[in-house]
Amino acid sequence: MAVFTAPSRTRSAVAGLAFVALWGFALSISRYSIPEEMEEGSFVANLATDLGLDVRSLVQRKAKLDVINSKNYLDINKETGELLIREKIDRESICITKTTSCFLKMDVILESPIRIFNIELEIMDINDNAPLFRRKTMHLDISEATPSGERFSLTNAVDADVGANSIKTYYLSESRYFNIDIQTGSDGSKYVDLVLGGRLDREEHAVHNLILTAVDGGVPPRSGTASIIINVLDINDNAPLFSQPVFAVNVSENSAAGTVVMTLNASDLDEGSNAQLTYSYTLYTSEKTQEIFSLDPNTGEIKVKGVIDYEESQSFEMHIQAQDRGSNPLSGHCKVTVFVTDLNDNYPEVTIKSVKSALSEDVAVGTLIAVITVSDRDSGANGEVKLSLHQQETLPFVLSPSSEGYFELLTSKPLDREVIGKYDITFSVTDKGSPPLSENETITLEILDVNDNAPAFAQSFYTIHVVENNLPGALLTSLSAFDPDLNENQYLVYFIMEKEIVNTSMSMLFSINPENGDLYALKTFDFEREREFLFHIEARDSGVPPLSSNVTVHIIILDQNDNTPVIVSPWRAQGSVVEEVIPRSTEKGHLVAKVIAIDADSEQNARVTYQLLQISDSTLFSLDQYNGEIRTTRMFSYRDPRQQRLVIVAKDNGEPALSATVTVKISTVEHVMSFSEFTTELPLEYDVFTDLNLYLVIGLGAVSFLLLITILVIIVLKCQKPKPKALKMPPANRNSVISRNSVISQRSSTIADSTLISSDAYWYSLFLAETRKGKVVVRQPIIPKGAGYFVSSIPRSIGPSETTDSRASTLEGPRRELP
């Protein structure tokens, strides 16, 4: 052994021989005793003193502690020579076998020269372990028939400690049925048996829970516990028992097969097969009863199997036994009496005769719809019946009794298919039984449509705004009417009610789709000629007789800026320049000329403003943007040119704006010159003037003759055809049509002022003649083609001039008749 624990294992044979030679030095053994579980660093012994060694030599000789076959729990303090606890020592882990003595063997080895000291350390036991049962819970099954004094072995407890610290005794929790008997083995071990001290009754106490405690002899003592669960096994010692010996139960006649009459529930205090019961009829139960009622052998449930008729039998009697399934079966008995209850088991019947499936909505009140009969096979109160209509308060029908068991269904209110087109009429018949029985029967009545509703438009008056210059065929709106009738009574046709305006039929101006009511314009409208239209559209259904309704349509034409302003003053030939002559001595603010433009549009589109587009000298002249007056802003100086050129634009207020321009050439002279020097003159001799007068007279006569013939033709046509009804027009519009603001052309020359009147007509012609020194000056403006304007010339006093005479002539063009 010393060979394996030597501090140096040289491979040299010489060293091995030397070690064997020194074996004799290790024959002496030093013994020490300590208790287990000492703390680390605890003092065990002073080896230097006990072994007679010099403390200083321990370091020099490299003292070493070698524990044999165990963990090194100790260590040597080489400075003091003391043997100390290095780690706690558990006696039970070192000495596994349960012996009273436990030693830890070790060697102290010194070098130079080698010397070995044997040391034995006895580990003494302390009470550090409590008794422990190998099974914490022990189950025992004991029959309730087991006699008193029977013994049952229990699992013992174990204690790792030895001697007085081992198990000393056992204790059992208090029980009147059990106690324990403690036995001591040859090795001193304690054994315990469980002893039955009385007769068990499972029905009284089926499970016993006990606590077994093991106590050791240490100081203080330690203990361990285990649970003992004892299940008492049953024996068939109790007979089944019903809750009462006689049962009475009621069952209704005609109960359906499978109806549960009652469930028997016998009890058996035993368990297992001893408590499993089987139910059966005894010989005292009649076969008829067994045919009508079934008995479930496992659950004791009694059900209806046959037909129960109160008129055949009013009660049934059954004798039933319940038997357990023990080895020696026991049984219990009872009697069940079933009383049959009479019921209202016949439903009343409803029979409908002479029924109408469809009815026109215009039938009279009191019209017969159907004949109904009711019956009930029961007697007495169960056979008395009452017939009624389901939700009668909401139906336009009434039941009228006609004879015994017969009723008539009549209309009580006028019918309206548009409100309700179909009725589901439910008849309910109920008897007076307890509980009452009822039966329902439903018929369907369809209401046939008649043409009793005229088409209806969403509104009675439609106002439609149409911008002028529309495309022919443009969709204006859709005028749709609704007819709540059905089929052909609902099919609508739309058309325009004929009406003439200024000898023009509405059907030539507008068109309507007869199927859907889409309204179209057939022509392009001009706001300057037509302002509004008022007519009627009719919707007519296809019923017999047809019904119709109409709606008033008001078409309002909206103005569009489609007319360019026309400059009427100062007059000039097309493409020519207007010339004005003024003295150089003209004062500031002098009116040079006035530009007047007219626009055939209305409102903002006809509002004309004036602007200077070009001007030779902006410091000399000003232009009023609203009235078109050109005035001097200062006096002329010698540096100013004799001729000034102004380009004036007249622009309306439409979107986009339209405009016209005029060029005015202003010449300045030192003195006032006659008007004829600045005009386009055609000098004529008096003989030429005489020929001209002749031509004028001939032309005037021809025009007068044609005008007379035209008036006569119109009178004849008016007498043959009634005059169409004129459209109503608001006074404001009428005034705007009849009269416009007068346009006055002012000049500082001898030409007469001209005033233009009317809103939507053009100049037809204008002749202004002036006579000066035997010569005639004729001017004829270029006027757009058309009719509608008339021009009146009103002479007024003029400034200094060489003109000696002025004449005014008025030529009136055709004017449109206004309603």
Out of 525, 558, 591, a domain closes at 558
pLDDT in tens, 75-104: 888 888 888 888 888 787 778 777 777 888
Residue 220 has pLDDT above 80, yes or no: yes
CATH of residue 402: 2.60.40.60
pLDDT in tens, 284-335: 999 999 999 999 999 999 999 999 887 688 899 999 999 998 888 889 999 9
pLDDT of residue 655: 84
Q: Are 741 and 756 in contact (CB under 8 A)?
A: no
Out of 654, 669, 684, a domain closes at 669
pLDDT of residue 27: 45
Residue 797 has pLDDT above 50, yes or no: no
Confidence class for position 502, pLDDT limits 50, 70, 90: low
Out of 619, 634, 669, a domain closes at 669
Does residue 321 belong to any structural domain of this protein? yes
Residue 773 has pLDDT above 80, yes or no: no
Does residue 678 belong to any structural domain of this protein? no
Q: Are 525 and 468 in contact (CB under 8 A)?
A: yes
Considering the domain architecture, whether residues 332 and 249 belong to the same structural domain is answered as yes
Considering the domain architecture, whether residues 621 and 576 belong to the same structural domain is answered as yes
Confidence class for position 31, pLDDT limits 50, 70, 90: confident
Confidence class for position 673, pLDDT limits 50, 70, 90: low
Share the mean pLDDT of the chain: 77
pLDDT of residue 538: 92
Average pLDDT over residues 746-753: 31
747, containing H or E segment: none
Does residue 762 belong to any structural domain of this protein? no
Considering the domain architecture, whether residues 146 and 201 belong to the same structural domain is answered as yes
The number of CA neighbours under 13 Å toward the Cβ of 186 is: 0
Confidence class for position 693, pLDDT limits 50, 70, 90: low
Considering the domain architecture, whether residues 203 and 251 belong to the same structural domain is answered as no
Considering the domain architecture, whether residues 514 and 577 belong to the same structural domain is answered as no
Confidence class for position 725, pLDDT limits 50, 70, 90: very low
Q: Are 288 and 281 in contact (CB under 8 A)?
A: no
With a CB cutoff of 8 Å and minimum separation 6, the contacts of 639 are none
pLDDT in tens, 598-627: 888 888 888 889 988 888 888 888 898 888
Task: Return the structure tokens found at 742.
Answer: 């007068």
The number of CA neighbours under 13 Å toward the Cβ of 82 is: 9
Considering the domain architecture, whether residues 664 and 577 belong to the same structural domain is answered as yes
Is the four-CA dihedral 586, 589, 590, 595 of positive or negative sign? positive
Confidence class for position 575, pLDDT limits 50, 70, 90: low
pLDDT of residue 690: 52
Does residue 799 belong to any structural domain of this protein? no
Q: Is 513 exposed, middle or buried (0-12, 13-18, 19+ CB in 10 A)?
A: middle
Confidence class for position 761, pLDDT limits 50, 70, 90: very low
Considering the domain architecture, whether residues 76 and 168 belong to the same structural domain is answered as no
Residue 231 Cα to chain centre, angstroms: 65
Rounded Cα distance, 744 and 629, in Å: 11
Least confident of 95-99, 171-175, 574-578, 805-809: 805-809
Task: Return the structure tokens found at 385.
Answer: 């019946």
Total number of domains constituting the chain: 6
Q: Are 534 and 727 in contact (CB under 8 A)?
A: yes
Confidence class for position 520, pLDDT limits 50, 70, 90: very high
Does residue 751 belong to any structural domain of this protein? no
pLDDT in tens, 448-488: 889 888 899 989 899 999 988 888 989 999 988 999 988 88
Q: Which amino acid is at 229?
A: I
State the residue range of the domain holding 383.
349-448
Rounded Cα distance, 344 and 434, in Å: 7
Least confident of 23-27, 177-181, 294-298: 23-27
Average pLDDT over residues 239-267: 92
Least confident of 29-33, 229-233, 440-444, 573-577: 573-577
Rounded Cα distance, 643 and 184, in Å: 161
pLDDT of residue 12: 33
pLDDT in tens, 120-155: 888 887 888 889 888 899 999 888 888 888 889 888
Confidence class for position 168, pLDDT limits 50, 70, 90: confident
pLDDT above 70: percentage of residues in the chain: 80
Q: Which residue has the higher pLDDT, 266 or 759?
A: 266
Rounded Cα distance, 624 and 776, in Å: 34
Does residue 582 belong to any structural domain of this protein? yes
pLDDT of residue 501: 67
Residue 809 phi/psi, 5-degree rounding, is: -125, 145
Query: Per residue in 686-713, is it b (16+ CB within 10 Å) or e — as a string?
Result: eeeeeeeeeeeeeeeeeeeeeeeeeeee
CA dist 126 → 36, 40, 130, 657 (Å): 7, 17, 11, 125
Considering the domain architecture, whether residues 317 and 387 belong to the same structural domain is answered as no
Does residue 551 belong to any structural domain of this protein? yes
Considering the domain architecture, whether residues 212 and 155 belong to the same structural domain is answered as yes
- If we measure between CA atoms, which residue out of 325, 238, 323 comes closest to residue 282? 323
Radius of gyration of the chain (CA): 71
Rounded Cα distance, 104 and 732, in Å: 138
Q: Are 809 and 793 in contact (CB under 8 A)?
A: yes
Q: Are 640 and 617 in contact (CB under 8 A)?
A: yes
Does residue 714 belong to any structural domain of this protein? no
Rounded Cα distance, 265 and 246, in Å: 13
| Alpha helical stretches, state H, 106-191 | none
Residue 677 has pLDDT above 80, yes or no: no
With a CB cutoff of 8 Å and minimum separation 6, the contacts of 222 are 127, 129, 130, 131, 159, 215, 216
Considering the domain architecture, whether residues 530 and 581 belong to the same structural domain is answered as no
DSSP state letter for 675: G
Average pLDDT over residues 359-371: 90
Considering the domain architecture, whether residues 534 and 492 belong to the same structural domain is answered as yes
pLDDT of residue 568: 85
Considering the domain architecture, whether residues 90 and 172 belong to the same structural domain is answered as no
21, containing H or E segment: helix 13-21
pTM of the model: 0.41
